[in-house]
Amino acid sequence: MLLPIVTVTSPKLHAPSRPTVFWPFRFTVGLCGYILLQRIMCLFYILPLPKSLIVMPHSPDILQVLGICSCLVLGFFLLAPRRKPSSRSFPPGPPGKFLVGNLQNLPRGGSEWVKHRDLARQYNDPVFFRVFGKPVISINSAAVANDLLEGKGLLYSDRPRLPSVKELAGYGWNLILKSYHEGWAAHRKVVAQRLHPSIVHSQYRPVMEQEVLLFLKRLQARPDNLFKSIKLTTGAIIVMITYGHQVTDEADPYIEMMEQARAAGEKTLGAALVDIVPFFQHIPTWFPGAAFKRHALSRRKNAQELRAIPYNNIKRDLADGTAAPSIVSALIEDVFSGAGELTELDIQDLGGTFYTTGADTTATAVINFVLAMMLYPDVQRKAQDELDAVVGRHRLPGFGDRENLSYIPCVLKELLRWRPVAPLAAPHYTTEDDEYNGWHIPAHTTVIPNIWAILHDEETYSDPESFIPERFIGAAKEADPAFVFGFGRRVCPGRFFADDSLFLLVASILHVFTISKPRDEAGTEFEPAVTWSSGLVSVPTLFPYTLSARQTVAPELGFM
């Protein structure tokens, strides 16, 4: 049966329905609020006094109007009826300032996970903030995460509105960002079914093995291209299982779209001021300080193409009878056979989620692994010795070897604990009021889970800054870093797939190559300086390295 090809150029963003408000009023409120905010932040030395108010000729009339608007908004704040002060006790946190609250205290500007941990040490856990009246808490310990995110998952597993990412940038279709009322449960059920361990083992492992073999051959030919090869391989695996498309090189359009999506997520999710005060999304793009809006709007085209282009391509291939087996092709066939309840827009959402979510996290974990082996050569030698003993020198490691390996699984656990790819998890959101340890946590509170702090707690992990796989061996082994995959109802449904692909890549690299520190012009080894980005996925800066084939293994595998 021929399937119609539907070109989607402007997909729905599934924004939650809200009462219609006359747009000039919303614009005026946003503009006046922004001007007032700028004035207040300058008054309290949060921002330097701007040299010009707005980017247009300095008309006295305009300045008078803006001044009047600022006074009106200030009057609204000062004279509007106020609620009686609550007698309830909120969790401890830094004292706030007039109107802006804890805007200055909310960690920003790099290494936010360390700053949140330091605040928890100072005030207790969880830490409470209030920014322009909006409550926020950060969770920095396993005990609080277990009590709230795991034990009270129904209350703590929604998502905040996040207009910078969902409404402005257009990524509201991504399952990670969806709130309860945006079809989250139905979409998550499909993802969990398609990434069930039994399906991963039977259908996706052969794809991983094929792509990892190509990766090793590319690396043998271009050892200086390690990081690009890692990203290409993880992307190729995801594209093949999602859309049945074979990626051949870095110029593949699917890989280019994925890289653009990665760039769009460089800023910390939920960190933009507009995500705390949503009406700021209505300020014009030319206004000073509106860079967040210009950045977000520049990503809308990519957000639309990520869903529409691969989807239309696979529908065309199904109509031609040339489509390879994939997740999206199976979902489309279910729709047209009447076996599924999903719509075509649902399938586009799910395809985009598979496409954009898995590759970047796995690639980042493998790059962190390269750094760890460079800094801890004894760990690398011990892992290679185990592979030589279990796998031998005549073949590559496979999934069947995993049950006979004891040290490699500990290396993987320590890798995820040492440098979690998402040190601050995507923010949660409370749906109802809650009481915890005598503290009141209001409904509609944004919750920031600090995975890095939990996995670097000195009371749980000895010498947490060091890479020590042995911490997971023996009777006194330390806690499993399972929180790296999320919490409660928001735990990552693709964790089994990610674990398999990470194992095969790490074991294969260790078996065929040795990673060591780079050398300077004098031939002396040095330790490169590395920093990590503040995006939802924390990506390390690229660093120099030395990669050499293991002469005792590689020739017998036919690579040299």
Confidence of residue 365 (pLDDT cuts 50, 70, 90): very high
pLDDT of residue 81: 42
> Using the 8-state DSSP alphabet, how is residue 539 labeled?
P
Q: Return d(Cα 453, Cα 541) in angstroms, integer.
A: 21
Dihedral pair phi/psi, residue 427, rounded to 5°:
-65, 140
Q: For the chain, give every domain's residue range.
A: 24-85, 86-557
Per-residue burial over 368-399, b if 16 or more Cβ lie within 10 Å, else e, is: bbbbbbbbbeebbebbbebbeebbeeeebbee
pTM of the entire structure? Answer: 0.84
pLDDT in tens, 466-482: 999 999 998 878 999 99
Q: Name residues whose C-beta falls within 8 Å of residue 128's C-beta, 6 or more positions apart in sequence.
A: 90, 91, 92, 93, 135, 136, 137, 439
Dist. CA 415–CA 369, nearest whole Å: 6
- Read off the pLDDT of residues 196-245 as tens digits, 9 standing for 90 and up: 999 999 999 999 999 999 999 999 999 999 999 999 999 999 999 999 99
Residue whose token pair is 């009878």? 321
Going by the annotation, the residues of the binding site are: 492
What is the per-residue pLDDT for 454?
Answer: 98
Phi, psi (rounded to 5 degrees) for 450? -95, 85
Homologous superfamily (CATH) for 86-557 = Cytochrome P450 (1.10.630.10)
Computed over every residue of the chain, the mean pLDDT equals 83
Local confidence band at 278 (pLDDT 50, 70, 90 cut-offs)? confident
For residues 207-225, b (16+ Cβ closer than 10 Å) or e, as one string? bbeebbebbbebbbeeeee
Which residues belong to the annotated binding site for heme? 492
Are 263 and 358 in contact by the 8 Å Cβ rule? The answer is no
Q: Which long-range contacts (CB under 8 A, 24 or more apart) does 493-497 make?
A: 493/188, 493/191, 493/192, 493/195, 494/191, 494/195, 494/357, 494/358, 496/195, 496/196, 496/197, 496/200, 497/195, 497/200, 497/204, 497/358
Which of 479, 436, 560 lies closest to 156 in space, CA to CA?
436
> What's the pLDDT at 544?
95
